[in-house]
Structure 1
Amino acid sequence: MDAERWVAPRLADVLEARRAIAPHLPWTPLLAHAGLAELVGTDVLVKHENHLPTGAFKVRGGVNLVSRLSPDERHRGVVAASTGNHGQSIAFAGRRFGVRVVVCVPENANPVKLHAMRALGAEIVEHGRDYDDAREHCERLAETGGYRYVHSGNEPLLIAGVGTHTLEAFEQEPRLDVLVVPIGGGSGAAGACIVAKAVAPACEVIGVQAEAAPAAYLSWQSRSVQEAGMGTAAEGLATRVGFELPQSILWEHLDEFVLVREDELRAANRLMIEHTRNLVESAGAAPLAAALRLRGRLAGKRVALVCTGGNCTLDQLRAVLDDAPPATAQGG
């Protein structure tokens, strides 16, 4: 596939997306957390996308896209592949606009996200060992079933929709110096870049991905779509191949890209839960892992971390908490 098939969204498209999603989704808070500021050594704010109805940022793109389907596309229904958050976003929008939704998921998909998708009315098809297996099956199903296929990255309307989180962030705090965004497929980071470079060109946008699933990072470094191994426990970062449209935007606008280890992700996940008093999934904690890695060069800057989601299972939560050093009891 060639990125020239798509026209990358611009700020005007994000503004239009905000109008489309405003009746359906609330703004999310941008909050300062003193404990995180102390850890990173500078002003830190968190954009809490985990407060959205599906517990993740992608619902912004789902509502924007599904609200604009043609009558024929609505009649045919849509199919998507997902580890959970993209599928929830399309399921939420499908229920809101009366569109049939089929979601292909890997066989080991997060049960919390599976339950949420089913509760929203989506039909679930389990296939393959990971996201990309499910995606390839989804593409075949779109052809044989006549569905409108909704790719999780190569969709301008999705990117414009998720870019609204960065638009909100700058309206809540115009003086941001750095925005740190997790990258799996790259739609969220691409949307962040489009907005940040239009409204605050001096603001750095830094992407972060798991070292154990570096396809997007390698694609960004080489300026060509790459495939890589996928061994991360953070399903929101777990892609085996770069996506063309988000990458074309990241190649032009992303300032820096950081890889973090699995132990750094677990530590950051625990610290996010502890200091924000929010339930945070591993992908949503990745920006903190990157900020801690870059602590020295972020000093004196106002940094926003995009907490992309909070959809973790009890087993995932136990694993994060069990990884913590023993606490020392203190009176107070």
Structure 2
Amino acid sequence: MLDDNGQEKDRLLAELAAGVPVFWINHALAQSHNGDAYRQDIADARQRLRDARYHLQGSFPATHGLADVVESRLLAAEDLAKRWKIPRWLVKADHSLPIAGSIKARGGFNEVLAFAERVAASNGLARMSPERPNYTHPDARSVFSHYSVVVGSTGNLGLSVGMIASSLGFRTMVHMSRDAKTWKKNLLRANGVEVLEHTGDYSIAVQQGRQAAEADPKCHFVDDEQSMDLFAGYGAAAQELASQLEEQRIVVDNDHPLFVYVPCGVGGAPGGITYGLKSLFGKNVHCFWAEPSASPCMLLQLLIGVHRSVSVYDIGLDNVTEADGLAVGSASPFVAPLMADQVSGIYTANDGHMLDMMLSVRDAQGLQVEPSAAIALLGPLFLTASEEGRSYVQAHGLGRTLPDATHISWTTGGSLVPPAEWQLLYERAEAFRGKVSALADAWSNEA
């Protein structure tokens, strides 16, 4: 169990069960990070994603003319920064990634491409050239038609895996939970993916997908809870971000700390990103994860301890949220222990806060992000305005350097949402306009 005293743990558990916003600070945060264990896996994933350019540009018109098909922009959030008095606030815009349109793109693509490489090699297909992997061989699609790829998902990983696996010629099946949006199912079906719907939640979808794959020796199951290839794909984003910071002449060091806020579902994407960033920037990067108040599976797991599984249902939560990509009941048993002393903290927010921030980022920055992405934009406010955030800054001696810090909100999901869905989302969000300001005001009154 992490180093939280009994009273603090009981208070946090009670607040989680009540579904109120919580900001947990990790008192067991390590001051060092050994990134050697998965360094090569992440480097291989980064190269694999770059090598995929030929296939992706040939299969998806939206990627034509893009130099880096699986890299997102790093945008300045100047108007939001002015409103909330954040010196430098940036958005890592995974919500605008082509093809899959979310933070899940790199991990899902890396997993499927790695499988494709293995299948092609086992069937005697050689690399076409230094720029063209073996899965681009003229005979590859015929070979792949005898194999299948299966994944369980609430939506975004299903889109990532489904789109690329189908484009390669694999029979592709996505088991989707009750939380998955109808438009995501329709998009997959339109791209030749078999969508199997389940009345249960994410865990049921994963379980059903795993069982289906076990019955077929030529079927590859993408295990969102345990996969190293997914984790490495997510980790590849760290070097991508580091290069963008260098291009923008943004320094990260003892005098210029970096704060990164990442949405968290089962934990693979924020875990991989955090692992990669800690490997590059060490103690100068501070990674915070964001979860819906209805689905705080990772925070609950770290509070209870990583050696026994726990579900949000165990504390009376319903795991129902507008942030469908984060609607996960139990945390990854691979990521939780690995990152238990690397994540700086986790905050939770309810649907009203996410929907209000979704409106704010549209109005201020012209960005359309789903609720599961909007939650990452709450991070700088939690850190700079809440009592817990201020205590973290003080405990780590960051008060002097905070004016020179860089804050990055990592978004997921948005560019693929149909216009009619946006209209419905924004109409629902109007009922919650002002919720974030009210939360900030409450923090101010407590100060």
Structure 1: 5+ residue stretches without partners:
1-7, 326-332
| Residue identity (%) | 24
Deviation per residue, 1:39-60 (Å, 9 max, x gap): 3422100000012122112121
| C-alpha contact 2:79 2:364 (8 A) present in aligned 1 | yes
Task: Decide which of 40, 59, 63 is 2:105's aligned counterpart.
Answer: 59
| C-alpha contact 2:107 2:231 (8 A) present in aligned 1 | yes
Counterpart of 1:328? Answer: none
Counterpart of 1:89? Answer: 160
Separation in structure 1 between the aligned mates of residue 348 and residue 432 of structure 2, nearest angstrom = 21
Task: Give the number of equivalent residue pairs.
Answer: 319
Deviation per residue, 1:205-248 (Å, 9 max, x gap): 11111111111111122332321131322111110111111212
Counterpart of 1:136? Answer: 207
Deviation per residue, 1:110-136 (Å, 9 max, x gap): 022112212222100011232222222
| C-alpha contact 2:294 2:350 (8 A) present in aligned 1 | yes
Separation in structure 1 between the aligned mates of residue 82 and residue 147 of structure 2, nearest angstrom = 52
2:114 aligned counterpart, secondary structure = coil
Separation in structure 2 between the aligned mates of residue 138 and residue 50 of structure 1, nearest angstrom = 26
Give 1:322 shift.
4.7
1:294 aligned counterpart, secondary structure = helix
2:141 matched to 1:32?
no
Separation in structure 2 between the aligned mates of residue 108 and residue 248 of structure 1, nearest angstrom = 27
Give 1:280 shift.
0.4
Counterpart of 1:319? Answer: 428
Separation in structure 1 between the aligned mates of residue 412 and residue 240 of structure 2, nearest angstrom = 14
| C-alpha contact 1:132 1:239 (8 A) present in aligned 2 | yes
Counterpart of 1:302? Answer: 406
CA 1:16–1:108: 2 relative to 1, 3 Å: closer
2:45 matched to 1:17?
yes
Counterpart of 2:281? Answer: 200
CA 1:59–1:26: 2 relative to 1, 3 Å: closer
Counterpart of 2:233? Answer: 161
Counterpart of 1:237? Answer: 326
Give 1:169 shift.
1.4
Letter in 1 for 2:311: E
1:135 aligned counterpart, secondary structure = helix
| C-alpha contact 2:358 2:368 (8 A) present in aligned 1 | no
**Length-normalised TM-score, structure 1:** 0.89
Letter in 1 for 2:260: L
CA 1:318–1:151: 2 relative to 1, 3 Å: farther
Counterpart of 1:264? Answer: 353
Separation in structure 2 between the aligned mates of residue 100 and residue 41 of structure 1, nearest angstrom = 50
Give 1:95 shift.
2.7
| C-alpha contact 1:80 1:138 (8 A) present in aligned 2 | yes
Separation in structure 2 between the aligned mates of residue 169 and residue 39 of structure 1, nearest angstrom = 25
Letter in 2 for 1:254: V
CA 1:111–1:287: 2 relative to 1, 3 Å: same
Deviation per residue, 1:141-198 (Å, 9 max, x gap): 2233453211223111111112222321121115351111110011111111111111
Counterpart of 1:329? Answer: none
Structure 2: 5+ residue stretches without partners:
1-35, 57-68, 123-142, 253-257, 394-401, 435-447
Q: What pairs with 1:221-236 in structure 2 (closer than 5 Å)?
A: 221-224=303-306, 225-228=309-312, 229=317, 230-236=319-325
| C-alpha contact 1:59 1:92 (8 A) present in aligned 2 | no
**Length-normalised TM-score, structure 2:** 0.67
Separation in structure 1 between the aligned mates of residue 285 and residue 303 of structure 2, nearest angstrom = 21
Separation in structure 2 between the aligned mates of residue 101 and residue 38 of structure 1, nearest angstrom = 46
Separation in structure 2 between the aligned mates of residue 39 and residue 13 of structure 1, nearest angstrom = 41
Larger Rg: 2
Deviation per residue, 1:85-104 (Å, 9 max, x gap): 10111112213322221001
Separation in structure 1 between the aligned mates of residue 354 and residue 37 of structure 2, nearest angstrom = 31
Deviation per residue, 1:301-322 (Å, 9 max, x gap): 2101101221543333331245
1:121 aligned counterpart, secondary structure = coil
Counterpart of 2:12? Answer: none
Deviation per residue, 1:276-313 (Å, 9 max, x gap): 31220111111112322222347522101101221543
Letter in 2 for 1:221: L
2:278 matched to 1:173?
no
Task: Decide which of 260, 268, 286 is 2:375's aligned counterpart.
Answer: 286
Task: Decide which of 92, 97, 102 is 2:173's aligned counterpart.
Answer: 102
2:368 aligned counterpart, secondary structure = coil
